[in-house]
Structure formats: structure tokens, C-alpha cells
Structure 1
């Protein structure tokens, strides 16, 4: 049978062929992460993400989640589109200066990463089976109670930045993470040392002050949470701070100095779709539910549904109206009598921002 070190080398080679940027390995003892996870949950920082609390400490106990797990293989996949220009951070920030333009987080402009990573992780698992024979495993991509960032940092993928995301000196943070829980004893990768130093750029730039302290995020204030995970009315005091961001927020990553090293993906899957970049809020607000479903097929955006899509854009249109974009009123008027009370309430608020 192939040796464990040689197997890891083979896994890394297979992963590169599948478009992954880096492979790491770690054990299953995450007990040191449990107190921090418990404090975060106790303070309610997870907001409405009930699944976070429902699974409790199983998130930090891989062998409880998948009995028989001995090692965790972590995988990183860069997602900047192939056509990303050199000054992409500046270009993205400039979108905030055009209040009538809709901003969708960069990771969500292409194909749903869940689908891309899950399929390729399974192919990687199949490749491992071809080397060692049948083995126990389970693939994860942001889809179960898994402490992804903790596993990634322990396996040498990078360190936890002050914004809580994983950072790599040679790739920044513009990447997805995935895991394969395996019943194989593999040698762990060496963790890397942190390199944020005294920098607080991500904390300072956060529009809603969701990063309440270094390495501590209150998801309830995060624009990504508010536009994607949160199902109800967006807190009124946070609406003006969302500006024209309608799905996610990249600010803490855009400002990070390490992202000057962010790498482009080699995959066409993450190329931006037509209609999700450089479009006006009014254009996207006019989409019927049928158009929304058709244009977001295979996209991570589809999961929020048309109602929340309109809710988010209504807030952005209200902010555009306040910024002097008179055309925003006309767009808002078209949804004043929308069947959804959630949409109507946000439209009414937006119309009051003139």
C-alpha cells in the first residue's frame, strides 16, 4: 500500500488537476476551538442562523459528525474570474461611488461554488479511492456543521485574519474552502504563522461595524448576513449603511493588503454572468420572479428567492434616492403594491429617503 506521505503528495497532484490551489491535512482534535465557538453562540452573534446553534459542539468534533473520521483533507480554490484586471480592488470600490449601480459580491457572480467544489471534491475522493481502495469519507462545502476556517488554518491553508476569514501570504483571501473527512491516518500539514500585525484596515472599513474587535464578527450586523441569511426585515438603522450592495459585501477583503496577491481562477465557472455586474438597480428590480429564477439558475443567488432579492434592491434604491438619483423613485413606485408585505415595507421606507 502507498505510504501516507506519498499519498498526500498524490492527493495534492490530483487536486491541482481538478483546479484546486492547495491541499492541507489536519487531525480531528478541535477542542481548543470549542470555548470560542460557545461564547460566540451564547452572545447570539450567529443571528438567525439557527443551524449554527442546533449542531452545537459537533461543529468542533469531526469524529462525532462523521464517525470513523481520523483526518480532514482541506482544499482551497481561488475564485477571482479569469478576466480580473490588475486594479480590481480599486475598480470594485469605485462601484460604491455609483449609487445607481447594483453590487453583487464577487464570489456570487459566477456559478454556485457549492456545486463546483462539491463535484470536484468528490472526484478527488474518487481519485484517492483509486490509489488506496474503498475508504470512509464525506465531502463538505459550506453545507454542514463544519468549522471550515478553523480546519483550514490548522492545515496550513493560511491564518485567521482579523475579519475572521482565512488569509494566505501568496493568495490573499479570495478563495473557497472545502473538506473531505476521511478514515485514513494522514500526516498533518504545518500551520502558518499569522501576518496581520497591527493592520486594522478590515475593521476600519466595515460599513456596519460588524467586526466588533479583532477576530470577532457579529454576523447580525454583517451585510453578507443581512442580504443572504437574514429572512425578515433588515434593521432600519443598518439600511443606510448598506449603500448599493444587494448581495454580500467584499469591503473587508477589498481593503486587505494581502489581497494584492489574490489569484485568478483557472475555471470558467467563476466568470461573471451577464446581468450581475455593472447593472443598474432599476434593471434588476424589474426582474419578474420568472426572470429571477431563469437568470440565477446555477447561481448561489437563487437561494435567497425573489422576495429577498427585491427587499435588498429596495434598500439600495432608497439609498440611491437619498444620494440624489431621482430615477430610483420611478423604479420603487412599480413595487409599491407588491403582494409581499416584506417588499412593500422596504419600498415604503425607500420612498421616504428622498
Structure 2
């Protein structure tokens, strides 16, 4: 099995993955308690699926009892420059780095499936592949496998990769040799915590999603709390501030797939242009992008908050045209933007 594991890692790198480690499904016994506390504090906000699937998310053995090993893989999407620089261009929108190119779900899943097919051909067994869309505790499994550790911003950090990488996993019935779990290397650093615009971290290693800009712009339905709107700045889909602040990014590796590179129309899109999108235009523009899943209304709501934060009076007519939008959250955001700009 040791020789198989070595060849598996070679194959993973040939597929484009930056790193691979292995753990057992039972290697994260602490997760159910932490997940239960997260939900009990209502930190999950409107993400009801987290509460509904806690049994599976907290225990990979319950998700697939036959699995004997979890292969955890990292795929880099490192940006070429600091994404926070876009925040100075207040009449343009800032899109999270991971969402500026093709949808990573499709790219990573296809790589995982090819790797899984290779494993079956070489050693038999059964497999299941996961990337972000199933109730799998990817980050704790990543730490248990030795891929990295969960930093104070709760994201996975690697001494060799920084924190700009996607996580995918292959569950298998083969008994592969596990790697040693990674330990915490954050030390006294709190750069990620201090970088958060909305103070979404009540304490190190603890996130209140209800204040997180990524949650507010992607998962949250309806109007955003007025006390937080000005802190969104021009971030219209996600936020990278805590990731970008991590000092371990000095070891980040370049993205292996050109499809993660920013599309020209998502590098710094003009807010006025985005606010004019109707449902058909939105779907056409964001075909193949993870942005498409939040729909036109939530997206334009975010754009209007950015317009309200732009301090650019030339955008006032744009907001006025949406003040009577059919979607209540869009209309509310437009009226807020008008009040700010006027």
C-alpha cells in the first residue's frame, strides 16, 4: 500500500493538484461538538442546511460507513496581486478571487473523478468524490490529513501553499496509510482577525457568519443589516480580506489552471453596468461562473450597496432607476444608496 500511496500522489500532481494527504474517516472526533456549538450560537445564520446535516458533516463515518480512508487534495488558485487593491476603485465592483474565473466546482470535481478512476483501475475498491457541495468537513479533514491547519480565520492554511487553495476529497474503501495531522502555526499572529471589515470573528478560530461579508453577499437572502452595509465597501460577491492578510501566503504557489484567471469582465466591473442587468442578462453574463447561483436579485442588491458606498454622485440615476424594482431587497438597497449619495 505504501507504493500505491506514492504513485497516487504522483498521479494527483499530474492531474494538477498542488498537494495530497490522507487521513481516516474517524480522525476528526472533535468536529461534532464544535459544529453543534456553532449552530447553537446561530452563527450559521440562514444556512439551515448546516443544522439539518450536522450528523453527516460532523462524522464522515456516518456519511459513508464503508469508507476506510479519505484522500484530501489541494488545488491552488492564488491571485497574481493583492485583491484588496480593488477596494480603492469605488465605482467598480470587487469580486472574490475564487469567483473571477470558471466555476471551481466543475474543474476540481473532474480532476477528482479522473484520480478516483485511476485508483480503481490500479487497486480496486469503491470511491466517492466531494468538493464543497456535500456535507463534508473538508477543513478539519485537511488538518487531520496534514494538508494544513485551520487558522484563526477558520480557513485551512499550509506552510507550503499559503491559504489560496480549494479542497477536494476522495473517500475510498481502500485502507490507505494515513499521514500525520498538521499542528497550528499561527502563533501570536492575528493579521486575519484585524483585517476583517465587519469584526466577524468573536474570538480566534471562531467565525460568526452573520457578520461575514462572504456570507452576507452570497448566502444571505433579503436586506442586509443597515449597520453593516457601509462596511461592505464595493465588495459585491465574497470577500478576501482575511485570506489576503495571512503572512503564510509568501509560500503560495501559482494556480495550475488558466481557467481560474480572472475574466476581463470580472476583474473590476463597473457598478453602473452591473446594476443594469435583468434576469436574462445576469444569467448570460455569469454562465459558467459560481456567481450565477445567487441570482440576479441578490447580486444587484449587492451592487446597490456598493453604489451607496461609492461616494460617486454620477451613480445616483442608476440607483433611482431601481428604487421601484419588483424585488423588495433590491428596491430597499436602491433607496438606501440614493439616501447615501444624495
**Structure 2 length as normaliser, TM-score?**
0.97
Which residue does 2:256 correspond to in 1?
A: 266
Kept in 1, the 8 Å contact 2:32–2:54? The answer is: no
CA RMSD of aligned residues (A): 1.1
Kept in 2, the 8 Å contact 1:337–1:344? The answer is: yes
Structure 1 gaps, min length 5: none
Number of residue pairs aligned between Structure 1 and Structure 2: 340
Shift of 1:163: 0.1
Kept in 1, the 8 Å contact 2:196–2:242? The answer is: yes
Which residue does 1:72 correspond to in 2?
A: 70
Q: Following superposition of structure 1 onto structure 2, how do residues 223-262 of structure 1 map, counting pairs within 5 Å?
A: 223-262=213-252
Kept in 1, the 8 Å contact 2:147–2:158? The answer is: yes
Structure 1 residue matching 2:167: 3-state secondary structure: strand
Q: Following superposition of structure 1 onto structure 2, how do residues 169-318 of structure 1 map, counting pairs within 5 Å?
A: 169-318=159-308
Structure 2 distance, partners of 1:10, 1:52, is: 36
Structure 1 distance, partners of 2:135, 2:129, is: 12
Shift of 1:344: 0.5
Structure 1 distance, partners of 2:137, 2:315, is: 41
Which residue does 1:116 correspond to in 2?
A: 107
Q: Following superposition of structure 1 onto structure 2, how do residues 53-68 of structure 1 map, counting pairs within 5 Å?
A: 53-68=51-66
Structure 2 distance, partners of 1:113, 1:152, is: 18
Kept in 1, the 8 Å contact 2:148–2:157? The answer is: yes
Structure 2 gaps, min length 5: none
Match of 1:339 among 314, 326, 342: 326
Q: Following superposition of structure 1 onto structure 2, how do residues 9-24 of structure 1 map, counting pairs within 5 Å?
A: 9-24=6-21
Shift of 1:60: 2.1
1:61-108 residue CA offsets vs partner (Å, 9 max, x unmatched): 112111301111101000125xx2xxx12xx22221221120000010
1:287-319 residue CA offsets vs partner (Å, 9 max, x unmatched): 232221112111100000011110110111111
Which contiguous aligned blocks of 4+ residues in structure 1 show a shift greater than 4 angstroms?
Answer: none
